[in-house]
Structure 1
Amino acid sequence: MHYRVILRILGLLLMIFSTTMLPSVAVSWWYGDGAAAAFLQGFALTLATGLVLWLPVSRHRGELRIRDGFLIVVLFWSVLGSFGALPLMLGQDPHMSLTDAVFESISGLTTTGATVIVGLDQLPQSILYYRQQLQWLGGMGIIVLAVAILPMLGIGGMQLYRAEMPGPVKDSKLTPRIAETAKALWYIYLGLTVLCALAYWAAGMSLFDAIGHSFSTVAIGGFSTHDASMGHFNSALMEMIAVGFILLSGANFALHFTAWRHRTLSGYWRDPEFRAYLFILAAAALIATAYLYLSGTFTSFGSALHHGIFQAVSIGTTTGFTTADYFNWPGFLPVMLLFMSFIGGCAASTAGGMKVIRVLLLFRQGAREIRRLIHPTAMIPIKIGGKVLPDRVMDAVWGFFAAYVAAYTLMLLILMATGLDQITAFSAVAACMNNMGPGLGEVGAHYGELNNVAKWVLCFAMLLGRLEVFSILVLLTPAFWRR
């Protein structure tokens, strides 16, 4: 393990992250909300810590190994979550405890969207902006941004990229050089954000709300500048704009890159994961719309239609925006939508969950086992896009699924042991581990009433989901630390 290289990179990344607090200072001065001091203090403390870590090892050079990459990613997200909480702790409105501030910060950076804050409409504008920016930075992964500049610092970045990017197949690159890959991802991400903000603004949002909601929409985050979330605007047009950009952000960004480079959309429909992604969300939207209308939850079919479509897409992609208190909807619908978040979006997207490609592979593996019962000696390969997948990929998918279920079950039992009821514990762990946000029961509206132990467990659940389980669990194995 190259600890000096790890400290050097961690220090550099903390210094880079400290500068992300400065835009909130400008917002505070512009609106005169009096919160600038908290951000300046947070900036100074984060920058100073980064310098302390970096200076003693600033001249040390070395190539990263895979193990180093995993450790840096996990350290950075946990440390970043702690330092991102500083402005929320140091400010007066809100003045949050350590637990609440870290929970809110990690929720933002992991694009979970679970909040402990009540009264968003009365908060300073700079705090609201900061929460939205945290999600935007976490959406694509601030480490992928850093990978784009690491080659200039004499450090190879492929190990960081492999540890950070979601999905079961991590060795494919959009461009020959990893730095160019990271830049390509960010150009697409930034382009979608700008287009989304302009669309919201044109639909009637204020410029501040349009920018803030574009950050959380493209990041598949779910934080809002209002307590009522997207329901605050009471606009079907804004909701449909959100649905469009959520669908784009939940798709594999490699498809966007291919479409942009080759000027063709044919790659989308040829991709089996994307087809399954659209089919699953369309089926959920159809069921939700029909049930909302037939149950009398909405008396007009038009209201049932746009609420059903919006919530199915928002929850199914783990965005977490709401237009109504979906957790109070009748029957099985809230639970069905929560189960949708376990699937999530596509691999190499900003969405959470287990990813559509894994669910698709598990389904095909199940179908293969059924066929093997009929033809025991047959050689039946599993194919994706006409290509036969190696057994190593299927082993990884099954291992991921087993680890996901085991980790979920353990955290569920811990939350119930702290006194939470079954519905609250079940939905809280699901919503946080899937990086979705709103749950059921006591966590339907916010997480502010939970005990501190439960909040720390859920912070771990958010990180576990954001880093796709193995990136954290591998650090807990003795073999990882052996020389």
Structure 2
Amino acid sequence: MPRTLSNGRPRYHRYAGVQRIMGILLMVFSLSMLPPLAMDLFWAEETTTPFLGGLWITLTTGALLWWPVRHERSELKVRDGFLITTLFWAVLGLFGSIPFYFSDEGWHSISEAVFESVSGLTTTGSTTIANGLDELPHSLKYYRSQLHWLGGMGIVVLAVAVLPMLGVGGMGLYKAETPGVMKDAKLTPRITSTARALWLVYLALTIACGLAYWWAGMTPFDALCHAFSTIANGGFSTHDNSIGHYGTLRVELVAMFFMLVGATNFALHYIAFSRRSLGSYLRDGEFRVFLSLYFAMGVLVCVPLILAGPYDDPLTAVRHGMFQVIAYGSTAGFATDNPTTWPMYVPLLLVMCTFMMCCGGSTGGGVKVVRLMLFVRQAFRELKLLVHPNAEVSIKLDGKVVPNDVVYAVGGFFSVYIGMTLALTGLMLTTGMDGITAFSAVAASINNAGPGLGEVSANVATVTPFGKWVLIFAMLAGRLEVFTLLVLFTPAFWRR
């Protein structure tokens, strides 16, 4: 019998609130199995069992977690938000893998099924399927893209918009989930309204992207799946040859535009929509640097392709070069060609693009442009202080002084991020990979970018089970921006 308080209510354990929310979120996530079930019935492809199994297992587990602590109403702390966010992404990756594991298609082990699920939810877009995407049932193709879409803005942020109706406060979750250096900024006075505003923008852009793909020549089904993947900057496609399957410039232009849209801060989209003005984009310093990076990297990639690349036509070289720059830089991971064999430094430069070319508050991965800006400005400030040790030199973004604690936190983030990348690369080397392939695989995973180089340029089918679990950890760390995950491994986090 549980101990009770003086009012007769049960005395809950320390993490009862976390358990209650985990149960609710799992029950909500179980509903994501319904659309694939409907598609199976429509196309009569006999994939009902995997999704029914996933639905009932996820729903039952969530109910069993929620029922014993259903009356718990304690306020969430920021520490609880970190725990819920990390646990939920990890647990969701496991439960999301059930339909893959139970299907008779391209996933033959639990490591492959979990990898596919985590890759979808973290919007990484790597796959364990070497070939055969074209022949997959429609329900599984849709489910893969749906995982991208749900993970794009963060299922936890979606839950923040819904959970207050169930008696759960959300600010702790929002701080833990929202990427970027300014986590306390709100678009609206209430956190629930902020989350809802972001999701309305997200939904509107998804619809626009899907209609644009349809106009460009995709079937309605392909347009829907690719819209989910593009706005989320995920990269799962319904075809083995990705966007290259279509071979049309119109489809590629739509993909490039909306990949850039997904890699832009969604707060800017919201402001532009609410003010009916595009001026907000150009007034934002991060967005200007964002566009400048794509222009600079486009020149650095396209010039070698024109001079020494595999294309006879300069326009074709620019077309493929710019597509790959945007696909890698936005961490969307779509492809129209295999850049592994491109000349000189180009393949490695594309991998480096995945680290630094997405805005904070976007669906893209990597360290984010705003952090890169602060890191560079801090470096220049240190150089000035060497010459003028007593000078007061402040760092500004868009005319506002950035507090020193934020600047130093960015420096710490870079150190940990690069250190983790190197450590995980070392682990991948133990699986027998060469150095370039191992580094690109880890970079693609921790930046949630998808394609690497060499044998992991198109898929990770040849990676060992241990290597897949290393990359799963890297994908989760990247999606949670490293510290949200690593803080759970510190003794101070678990002290009362």
Q: Which stretches of structure 1, 4 residues or more, deviate above 4 A after TM superposition?
A: none
Q: Which residue of 2 aligns with 1:227?
A: 240
The one-letter code sitting in structure 1 at the alignment partner of 2:281 is: Y
Tell me which residue corresponds to 2:115.
103
Where do 1:376-395 residues align within 5 Å? 376-395=389-408
Q: CA deviation at 1:153?
A: 1.4
Q: Partners of 1:324 and 1:442 in 2: how far apart?
A: 15
The answer to whether the Cα contact below 8 Å between 2:293 and 2:357 also exists between their aligned partners in 1 is no
Give the match for residue 172 of structure 1. Answer: 185
Match of 1:27 among 33, 39, 46: 39
Within 5 Å, give how 1:253-272 maps onto structure 2.
253-272=266-285
Match of 2:7 in 1: none
Which of 192, 196, 199 is residue 209 of structure 2 equivalent to? 196
Matched to 2:87, the amino acid is L
CA contact under 8 A between 1:424 and 1:443: conserved in structure 2? yes
Please give the alpha-carbon distance, in whole angstroms, between the structure 2 residues aligned to 1:383 and 1:168.
14
For 2:316, the aligned partner's letter is S
Matched, 1:113 2:125: yes
CA apart distance, 1:418: 2.2
Deviation at residue 79 of structure 1 after TM alignment: 0.3
Structure 2 equivalent of residue 55 of structure 1: 67
C-alpha distance after superposition, 1:422-445 (max 9, x if no partner) = 111111000000000010112112
Corresponding position: 1:315 with 2:328 = yes
Select the residue among 351, 354, 364 that pairs with 2:364. Answer: 351
In the alignment, residue 226 of structure 1 is paired with which amino acid? H
* 2:491 counterpart of 1:482: no
Match in the other structure for 1:38: 50
| Cα contact 2:101–2:110 (8 A) shared by 1 | yes
- The residue that corresponds to 1:70 in the other structure is 82
* SS state at 2:201 partner: helix
Q: Distance in 2 between matches of 1:418 and 1:250?
A: 33
1:24, 1:129 within 8 Å by CA — same for their partners in 2?
yes
Q: How far apart are residue 344 of structure 1 and its match?
A: 3.3
User: SS of the residue aligned with 2:424?
Assistant: helix
Alignment of 1:446 with 2:459, yes or no, is: yes
TM-score, scaled relative to structure 2: 0.96
Q: Report the Cα distance in structure 1 between the residues aligned to 2:465 and 2:423, rounded to whole angstroms.
A: 17
SS across alignment from 1:148: helix
Please say if 1:426 is aligned against 2:427: no
Secondary structure of 2:237 counterpart: coil
2: distance between equivalents of 1:304 and 1:323? 11
Instruction: Give the aligned residue type for 2:154.
Output: G
Match of 2:194 among 165, 169, 181: 181
Q: 2:340 aligns to what? A: 327
Candidates 384, 387, 390, aligned match of 1:371: 384
How far residue 101 of structure 1 moved from its aligned partner, in angstroms, is: 0.2
Q: 1:398 is matched with which residue?
A: 411
Structure 2 partner of 1:459: 472
Q: What is the identity, as a one-letter code, of the residue corresponding to 1:256?
A: H
| 1:212 CA displacement | 0.4
Matched, 1:88 2:94: no
Deviations 1:211-259 (A, max 9, x none): 0000000000011111100000001111111111111111111111111
Please report how far the alpha carbon of residue 302 of structure 1 lies from its aligned counterpart in structure 2 after TM superposition. 1.6
Alpha-carbon distance, 1:95 to partner: 4.5
Residues in 1 aligned to 2:424 and 2:107: alpha-carbon distance in whole angstroms? 28
Q: Deviations over 1:87-117 (max 9, x none)?
A: 0001112343100000000000000011101
Moved more, 128-137 or 95-104: 95-104
Hey, what's the Cα distance between the residues in 1 that align with 2:105 and 2:325?
34
Shift of 1:266: 1.2
- Look up the equivalent residue of 1:340 and give its one-letter code: C
Query: What amino acid is the match of 1:164?
Result: E
Q: Does the residue aligned with 1:22 lie in a helix, a strand or coil?
A: helix
Shift of 1:410: 1.1
Report SS of the residue matched to 1:149: helix
Q: Shift of the alpha carbon at 1:376? A: 2.1
Give me the CA root mean square deviation.
1.0
Q: 1:4 aligns with which of 1, 6, 16?
A: 16
By how many angstroms is 1:366 displaced?
Answer: 1.1
Hey, what's the Cα distance between the residues in 2 that align with 1:331 and 1:225?
32
AA matched with 2:448? N
State the AA in 1 paired with 2:82: F
Contact between 1:344 and 1:434, CA under 8 Å: does it hold in 2? no
Work out which of the residue numbers 246, 249, 258 in structure 2 matches 1:245. 258
Unaligned runs of 5+ in 1: none
Aligned mates of 1:96, 1:128 — CA distance in 2:
17
Q: TM-score by structure 1 length?
A: 0.99
- Asked whether the 8 Å contact 2:96–2:114 carries over to 1, the reply is yes
Hey, what's the Cα distance between the residues in 1 that align with 2:176 and 2:162? 17
Q: Does 1:410 align with 2:417?
A: no
Tell me whether 1:274 sits opposite 2:287 in the alignment: yes
- What whole-Å deviation, never above 9, does each CA across 1:325-372 have from its counterpart, x for those lacking one? 112212110100100101130000000000000001111111111222
Identical columns (%): 52
SS at match of 1:353: coil
**How many Å separate the matches in 1 of 2:366 and 2:14?**
32
Name which of structure 1's ranges 284-293 and 452-461 shifts more when overlaid on structure 2: 284-293
Letter in 2 for 1:27: M
Question: Structure 2 regions of 5+ residues with no counterpart?
Answer: 1-12
Measure, in 1, the Cα distance between the counterparts of 2:122 and 2:388.
45
Question: Aligned pairs, how many?
Answer: 483
Matched, 1:304 2:321: no
1:148 and 2:161 correspond: yes
- Alignment check: 8 A CA contact 1:345 1:351 kept: yes
1:19·1:43 contact (CA, 8 Å) conserved in 2? yes
- Deviation readout 1:101-153 (Å, 9 max, x if unpaired): 00000000000011101211111111111000000100000111110011111
What letter matches 2:55 in structure 1? F
Does the 8 Å CA contact 1:293/1:304 hold for their aligned counterparts?
yes
Checking the alignment, whether the CA contact within 8 Å between 2:149 and 2:228 is kept in structure 1 is yes
Residue 188 of structure 1 aligns to which amino acid in structure 2?
Answer: V
1:200-219 aligned within 5 A:
200-219=213-232
- What does residue 468 of structure 1 align with? 481
